[in-house]
Amino acid sequence: MKHIRLRRNSGLAIAAALFAAAPFLSAQAQQQHAHVHGQMKLDVAIDGPTVVIDMESPLDNIVGFERAPKTDAEKKTVADAIAQLRAADKLFAIDPAANCKLGPVDLRSGALGLGNPDPNEPVGHADLDATFSFNCTNAAAAKFIDLNLFSVFKGLRQIDSQIASSQGQFKRQLKRPTGAQAAQPARLGWGK
């Protein structure tokens, strides 16, 4: 798992959250890059006025294949997925108590020619990684994020998450909902 990348104009608050989360995240970071179809990793850092979500997913979970698109239909699938990811406030509904608005979205995929992809990505196993930043008036009040990822990305079966906040550090695992709950967002919760 990669550490969340900071941009030059990121605030000190984000840096503080990430440094505070470093011991929590470092055990995972030391493991080899795991690429498991159907699984996605989300790291959430909450500090000051910012919520940062770092996502790592096999490209197959997002678009159904792991290479550059070849056909017009595949190109449309990729364009639709990129548009959905750029509209991250529809995928990640942060607890309204935090009063968050979507900020910068950074998408990275070597196969799709997006951003600066992970140079250690295994050959033949393309990923799509992303960092979503949300600017909030009260980020510390957030106790959950409702995720619409399962309903949007049909290849996704499981989300493994780590959360670092002023309330503590948490690990959560969410599975694709079934039955009547399949149409509802999956809730990633933490704290009290």
Please count the residues of the chain: 192
Is 123 exposed, middle or buried, given 0-12, 13-18 or 19+ CB atoms closer than 10 A?
exposed
pLDDT at 122: 60
pLDDT in tens, 58-84: 999 999 999 999 999 999 999 999 999
The residue extents of the domains of the chain are 12-183
Supply the mean pLDDT for the chain.
83
pLDDT in tens, 85-129: 999 999 999 999 999 999 999 999 999 999 987 676 666 678 999
List of residues 6+ apart from 16 with CB closer than 8 A: 47, 48
Tell me the C-alpha distance between 1 and 34, whole Å: 8
pLDDT at 124: 64
- Is residue 23 predicted with pLDDT exceeding 50? no
C-alpha dihedral sign at 158, 155, 53, 130:
positive
- Is residue 3 predicted with pLDDT exceeding 60? no
Q: Strand, coil or helix: what is 75?
A: helix
Give the lowest-confidence range in 9-23, 139-153, 168-182: 9-23
pLDDT at 82: 97
pLDDT at 31: 42
Q: Which two tokens stand for residue 130?
A: 């992303």
pLDDT at 41: 97
List of residues 6+ apart from 48 with CB closer than 8 A: 11, 13, 14, 16, 17, 139
User: pLDDT tier at 184 (50, 70, 90 boundaries)?
Assistant: confident
Classify residue 124 as left (phi > 0), alpha (psi -120 to 50) or beta.
left
